[in-house]
Structure formats: C-alpha cells, structure tokens
Structure 1
Amino acid sequence: MTGLWLREDEALAHIAGVCFKTGPPRRTGVELEWLVRDQLDPLAPVPVERLRAALAQLGPTGELPNGGRITLEPGGQVELSSRPATSPVGCLRETAADLADLRAALGLAGLVLEGRGLEPYRSPERVLDLPRYRAMEAYFDAAGHWGRMMMRATASVQVNVDAGEDTGPWTGAAAVNGHGTTGYRFRWTLVHRLGPVLVAAFANSPLWQGIPSGWRSTRQAVWAHMDPGRTRPPEADPDPRAAWARYALDARLLCLRRPEPAPWTAPPDTPLRSWLRDAASERRPTLDDAEYHLTTLFPPVRPRGWLELRMIDAQCGDTWMVPTLLVTALLDDPVAARAAYRATEALTGGAELPPWPVWLDAARHGPSDPVLGAAARACFDAASDALARSGVPEPMRRAVADFARRYPQRGRCPADDQLDALGLGLGPRLPEGASR
C-alpha cells in the first residue's frame, strides 16, 4: 500500500484476495432473520425499547451459550447469527439450542418470532437511528421505496459455506467431468446455478400490505428493483475473484464514514473506482474504506472469505434447517454436486450461469414454473441421497423429505400456504410504484 491511501490496483488485488479464502470446505454457518410479533396483537408494532428489554435477558453481549449472536435490523427484525461449525449437523444443533433460548426470552415478554420473508401487513418504521442507516435510506430513496422495504420489512435465512479449494482453472463442466467439485470456482458457479432454485423452493413472501403482490417472493422482487450494481450477481467469468473485484469497484458508494455529527451521505453516482481515482475528493480512500464498502454490497451470493447465500426467504418454525441441509448436501457431496449442476442446466440457456430473468421467474412463480420446478425436485432428490450417505440424523433427513413432498413435488412453496390461508389467489398486483 502507498502510505494510508489506496490505489486502484491495490484495491483490486486486496478485494480479490480477501473475499475468496481457499481451503478444504468444512465449515457451515447460518444467519436467521425474524419478524417479531406481540402474542396478543400480532398486527401491533413492537416498540424497540420493549424488544431490547426482552433481549437483555440473554446477557449484555448479545452472545448466546452455543456461540450465536443476536443483533437488530433497522425495522426491528431480530437476527441470530451462528458461529461457524465444522459440520452442518453441528451448526443446526447449536443454532437450534440458541434459538430456543431466544424464543424463551421473547416469550417471557409476550413476544414471538415469525418466519416470513417480508412483513405482510404493515410498513414498519426504522427503529435504529445510526449514521449508516440514515445514509442508506437517503441513497435508496432516490430510486423509490424499495430500499426502505428492504431495510425495514424483509427477513431471510442466510446459509454460509466455505469458498472451497484453489484446485486450478476448472469451473462448471470441466469440474463435473473429472476435476473435482471442491474448488472455489466450481462452488461459486454451482451456488449461482442453485440460486433461482432456492428462491423458488423457499419463496415465503407473497403479501405486501395485506394484498397479494404478484410474486411468491416479494422479498426477492424488492431486491430486484433496487440498485442493480450492488444487488444482482456479478458477470460470469472463469475467474470469480477478478469478476468480484471489478463488481466491487464499479458499485456506487452507499455511504461515506465521517466523524459525528457529520452525515455519512455519499457523493452521488460515485463508484468506488471513481473515488480511488479522484485525488481532489474530500479525502482519499483507505483500505478500511474499501473493506467497509464491501459490507454495502448485497448480491444473492456475497463472498466474504466464505460464501454467503442471501437469496432465501425466512421460513416458518424450524423449517430454516431445510435450506441449510439442502445447500450443504448439494455442495459438499461430490455426487450430489454433479447432479445439481446437471439439474440446473435448463436454467442457464446454454451459458454457465442463469440469466437474471430466471431469478425473476423464480421469485414470481416459485416451483409452479415447470423448468424451475423440475430443477428443484431433482436437487431435493440428490440432496436426500447425499444426506443418507453422510449419516445425517434421521429426523433431519425426514424434515427435508417432508418439505420436498409438501412443496416442490407439488409445484408449491411456502408462499402458497399463506395465500391459501387467506383464501386468495396470486393476484397481479405489485407493490405501489413497481414496474413489470
């Protein structure tokens, strides 16, 4: 590095290196976001003071006995982040134990967790008044209300897995045909091919303000309508490190940290690359600025040394275990990985990765789309076989099989249950201000 200032070539090299840490894939983590309800009045807003008081019963640090950590999202959603575990089963067991503690603490305060990808009835207020969130709202408000919906009203299941080994230049077909499936290039390709399948199979947000939105996953539709330079996948490239570094530098600054009380509002329409080149800016960017910028990028798969899969709607009850088991089985078992790669071939149009319209079809139709439905069924079948081979406990295997029978095998997803419960069909309405 040159002094405290960061050059463009230094930024590219650093981002490419730090975001794909390679080695044998072993670890699994999850981050579970939940909406919070009053037990007696589920439609009433929950004051943040009441929520903080309930969470304080878990201890002053936010860390739970099995290593999970509790944080709050801008709209009062609660997030439980597991610590990395050396096996998917260990991750699920530790997270389930911490989740039981969280539910118990909230229950004493008359509160319950609800697993939906989007707050279906209210437009929540922002309850966290931090410089980052004020700057984010200012940035996203310029393009409509999508950013506020994302920050205040969405919830997800995020599965975290190791990037994989540096096994050479082989990506999709070459890895499937004999070069192995543990390499980070192949795993990067496979998680993007699985992305629309996961959106479709676990879509769980069909309502907005009490009305069908026209999407099985309105949460994914919200992301689709936001800033595409930070919410869509990077371009396909045999070298994912280079593609991600370019993506990061081309994304516009979302906020610029300054000493209080100065606002963190970023200069308009300024990619990180432009800031690195602009010697006349208010200050020159540093390595810390570049790393902070990475935390403001929200594609469906985000590399942070490991791979964050961010496309899955929050799930009801303990169904969050199913996408975690599905993802890890399809990535870590070589037979299942090859099967999943072939099962998603029809989604790519002959390319390596699915085009963006396939992600939108997944969000709109779920597994009722025949091509997505077929891919989802094949992936669940491959995962079920892999889970049996790996000795995953029978109750966990049964949870995956039950989900498959209830949803993808019938061309359905959890969103359809919500619509059925209201006696509603999936209407044509989008959130106000949207375009098809």
Structure 2
Amino acid sequence: MFKSRAEAEAYVASVCFKHGPPRLLGVELEWTVHHVEDPCRPLEASTLAAALGRHAPPTLVPDSPQEPLPGGTPLTVEPGGQVEISTAPSESLTELLKTVAADIEHLDRLLARAALVTGRRGADAYRPPKRMLRVPRYAAMEAAFAPVGPEGITMMCSTAGLQVCLDFGLAEDLPHRWAAVHALGPVLTALFANSPGVGGRRTEWATARMRSLYGTDPVRTRPAAVCADPASAWARRVVDAPVIVVRRPGNSWLPPFPLSFADWIDGALDRRPTSDDLDYHMTLQFPPVRPRGYMEVRYFDTPQPGGWVAPTVLMAALFSDRSVVDGVLAATERSAGRWIAAARDGLRDPGLARAARAVVDLGCGALGRTDLSPGQNDAIAEELHRTLAEKTGGGRS
C-alpha cells in the first residue's frame, strides 16, 4: 500500500520510464469490425464471439481459453467490438513484420468465415457508437466520460489505431527521444490521417479519431509534458489524475465520489491503494504517447490493409540512432505542439506539409539502419513518398 504521494510518484517514474540500449520494437493494431454485405449493420457480441472462437478474450466470452494467434499474439476486443492484436516485442524488425502479417491473415480468415471484415479506417464512419462489452471497467469509463460530451463513448467504441512501441534508450538519450516522439506527433498524425468522419460526425477533420480522443477527457488525453525530467512530470500527472475506476467485487467499479489518486493515498476511501491499483489507474491515461516502460506511440489511425508497415518501419528508422533523432528534432522544430491543427487539417496545413517532407526524407535516408532488405527499404520509401504526394497534392505546399 502507498502511504505517501512521494512513494507513489517514485513508483510511477520507475515503472513507466525504463532505460537501456534501444533494442526492442512492438506493434499493436486494432480495427472496427463490419458485416461484409452491409457495414452499417450493427455487430452483435454473439456474432463476433462465434467468429473468433477459441481466440475470443474473456471480456467477450467469460470461459474462453483465449488461445493466441499463430504468432503467439493474444487477441483482445475493445468496448465497441473492435478487435486488437498486440505483438510481443522483437529485436528484429524483419521478424516483427512477418509475425504481424501472419496474425492479420489468420484474423482475416476467422472473420471471413462469419462474413465479417475489418474496417479500413481509424474510425467507424457508418454506425453510431454502441458499447458491446458489458464489463465493469468500460461501464465506469462511459459514466466518467459522459458528462464531458459524446466524444468519450465515440473514442471507446468507434475508433481504431495503430500503436508502435519503442524503447526509451539509454538514460542520457531518454529526454531527446521523448522530445522527438512528441515533436513527430503532429507531423505523423497528419501524414497518416485516415478517419475523415466518425459515426456520421466530424467529417471535416482529417482524423476524427484523434479529435474524439482529445475531446474525451483532456485531463487524461492531452499530450504528456516534454521537459528535462519527463518521468517526474508524468508521475505528478498520474497521481493528480481523477480516479474513474475502483475495482471491487460486483458489477460496479464507479468511485463513490470524485477523487484523485492523491486523495486515495491520503485516505479518501476505506482502504489505501496498492501498486496494482496504481498500475490499473495508469491504464486509464490516454495521451498520444504513453510511457509504459517503453514509448507507446498512439497517434496513428488504423490504415488501409497493409498500410501499417510503412509507418512502423518509418518509426524504427527515425529512432535507429542518436544522429537521426537529432535530425527529427530539427525537422519538426516549427511544427511541434500543433496537435489540433494536425488532426483538423492534416497536410493541408503548409507548415505541417513542409515538416512531413523533411521527416520522410530523413526516415528514408535511415532505412538502411534497419535489418530489412534493400528491396524492402526501396518499397517502403516509395510508399512513404507516394503517401506524402497524395496528402500534399503532389508536393505543393
């Protein structure tokens, strides 16, 4: 049990910001799920459960064995029925891409047998948000976000993203890598924006998924601080954040009254919080980059089929060496912090378009630092420049 705020902050900093040689890379991918013949038709839990079979998670089928996909990847389901795969971290980009591709192929076959298909964008443009999973966690989240507006339930049930997970690196490099991954956020949000509209709303935004995220609960969805000591800043933010879930026996995990985690430490509830409580509280923070002992990059929309490879490889290349990270910071100096403009305007914004060109050129120049073959690197570079040209009108600013 935590007896003081300082103890809790020290714990957060130690588990969220781990440093060492940057070796590992991971990917998480989620998709909305639709009926092949009618993407507007609501998806029933029983239909999805039958399609996933023994791979279904216990949140969907309580007695499911949740067998992993062939690559060892567990399959999970988000509140609105989105399916997600989360790979184990890998030292080889080549092997990671093979594992993810094989697991996606297996998932597609499972869904196809039930006449279902994964969505091709970062948000469900066809259906209003509807919560499928009737579990205490998501009921508490929905209750917490509802007073803010409709964005919370939309984010929970109608959006899907690609997450790329990167090591923090050595202690002396951590602040630079943390700054760079945030400075890239607006640029890469705009470059890979793929959700013009969600549930019939926000059709004017390049990425309505990120708009929904920012509007859900700014206290827990705004970008984390970029500063000399990001670990301490994040720890303070986590401990100050409102508690929206208190796990207990029964179906209601709603807090009995509004309180922060700091209040809980100070004795606001009938028991002091444990490290398990704090770990769970941290899973309820949703910034565009979330520290989890590594950097969980959350600002990519789910792309078209196969489109996840290019942003994944680009991130690996951009963080492959200290000199490349320094180049990222230089290329994004004028666009850093422009999160809302990126989500709303995408690369229609001239400043973001200029930064995107510089970042793509920098990343393509660093592809040789990965373990991909020259042919793979050439294909990735071609795709990145094609995406850039499509989003900027053929190179015009």
Q: TM-score, normalised by structure 1?
A: 0.84
CA drift at 1:119: 0.5
Separation of aligned partners in 2, 1:338 and 1:238: 16
CA drift at 1:87: 2.1
Structure 2, unaligned stretches of length 5 or more?
Answer: 57-64
| Partner-residue secondary structure (3-state), 1:207 | coil
CA drift at 1:121: 1.6
| Partner-residue secondary structure (3-state), 1:83 | coil
Separation of aligned partners in 2, 1:56 and 1:140: 32
CA drift at 1:391: 4.8
Aligned mate of 1:293, from 281, 285, 289? 281
User: 2:79–2:138: 8 Å Cα contact kept in structure 1?
Assistant: yes
Q: Superposition pairs for residues 20-39 of structure 1, below 5 Å? A: 20-39=17-36
Aligned mate of 1:360, from 340, 360, 363? 340
User: 2:129–2:153: 8 Å Cα contact kept in structure 1?
Assistant: no
CA drift at 1:241: 0.8
Q: Superposition pairs for residues 231-380 of structure 1, below 5 Å? A: 231-261=221-251, 263-277=252-266, 279-348=267-336, 354=337, 358-380=338-360
Aligned mate of 1:165, from 159, 170, 173? 170
Aligned to 1:406: 386
Separation of aligned partners in 2, 1:155 and 1:185: 29
Separation of aligned partners in 2, 1:393 and 1:276: 52
User: 1:330–1:337: 8 Å Cα contact kept in structure 2?
Assistant: yes
Q: Superposition pairs for residues 69-84 of structure 1, below 5 Å? A: 69-84=74-89
Residues 37-72 of structure 1, C-alpha deviations (whole Å, 9 max, x = no match):
211222212211111111115584231121211000
Provide closer, same or farther for how the CA distance between residues 133 and 391 of structure 1 changes in structure 2, counting only shifts above 3 A: closer
Separation of aligned partners in 2, 1:239 and 1:339: 21
Q: Does 1:228 align with 2:218?
A: yes
Separation of aligned partners in 2, 1:148 and 1:375: 33
Separation of aligned partners in 2, 1:199 and 1:32: 16
CA drift at 1:399: 4.2
Q: Does 1:147 align with 2:148?
A: no
Provide closer, same or farther for how the CA distance between residues 212 and 406 of structure 1 changes in structure 2, counting only shifts above 3 A: farther
Letter in 1 for 2:301: D
Q: TM-score, normalised by structure 2?
A: 0.92
Letter in 2 for 1:158: Q
Q: Does 1:65 align with 2:54?
A: no
Separation of aligned partners in 1, 2:201 and 2:147: 25
CA drift at 1:396: 3.5
| Partner-residue secondary structure (3-state), 1:31 | strand
Residue-pair matches, total: 385
User: 2:155–2:209: 8 Å Cα contact kept in structure 1?
Assistant: yes
Separation of aligned partners in 1, 2:88 and 2:97: 11
| Partner-residue secondary structure (3-state), 2:347 | helix
Residues 410-429 of structure 1, C-alpha deviations (whole Å, 9 max, x = no match):
4449xxxxxxxxxxxxxxxx
Separation of aligned partners in 2, 1:211 and 1:226: 15
Separation of aligned partners in 2, 1:58 and 1:296: 25
User: 2:122–2:301: 8 Å Cα contact kept in structure 1?
Assistant: yes
Provide closer, same or farther for how the CA distance between residues 332 and 233 of structure 1 changes in structure 2, counting only shifts above 3 A: same
CA drift at 1:319: 0.3
Separation of aligned partners in 2, 1:280 and 1:340: 45
User: 2:220–2:287: 8 Å Cα contact kept in structure 1?
Assistant: yes
User: 1:6–1:287: 8 Å Cα contact kept in structure 2?
Assistant: no
Provide closer, same or farther for how the CA distance between residues 70 and 120 of structure 1 changes in structure 2, counting only shifts above 3 A: same
Separation of aligned partners in 1, 2:36 and 2:382: 28
Separation of aligned partners in 1, 2:87 and 2:250: 32
Q: Superposition pairs for residues 5-24 of structure 1, below 5 Å? A: 5-24=2-21
User: 1:121–1:207: 8 Å Cα contact kept in structure 2?
Assistant: no
| Partner-residue secondary structure (3-state), 1:345 | coil
User: 2:320–2:369: 8 Å Cα contact kept in structure 1?
Assistant: no
| Partner-residue secondary structure (3-state), 2:326 | helix
CA drift at 1:344: 0.3
CA drift at 1:283: 2.3
Separation of aligned partners in 1, 2:340 and 2:205: 9
Letter in 1 for 2:348: S
Separation of aligned partners in 1, 2:387 and 2:191: 7
Provide closer, same or farther for how the CA distance between residues 146 and 268 of structure 1 changes in structure 2, counting only shifts above 3 A: farther
User: 1:366–1:412: 8 Å Cα contact kept in structure 2?
Assistant: no
Say what the alpha-carbon RMSD is for the aligned residues: 1.8
Q: Does 1:184 align with 2:174?
A: yes
Letter in 1 for 2:239: L
Separation of aligned partners in 2, 1:390 and 1:160: 16
Separation of aligned partners in 2, 1:21 and 1:391: 24
Residues 339-374 of structure 1, C-alpha deviations (whole Å, 9 max, x = no match):
2111001124xxxxx2xxx10000011111111111
Letter in 1 for 2:4: R
Aligned to 2:59: none
Provide closer, same or farther for how the CA distance between residues 389 and 11 of structure 1 changes in structure 2, counting only shifts above 3 A: closer
Letter in 1 for 2:14: G
Letter in 1 for 2:115: G
Separation of aligned partners in 1, 2:206 and 2:376: 26
User: 1:36–1:112: 8 Å Cα contact kept in structure 2?
Assistant: yes
| Partner-residue secondary structure (3-state), 1:142 | helix
User: 1:205–1:218: 8 Å Cα contact kept in structure 2?
Assistant: yes
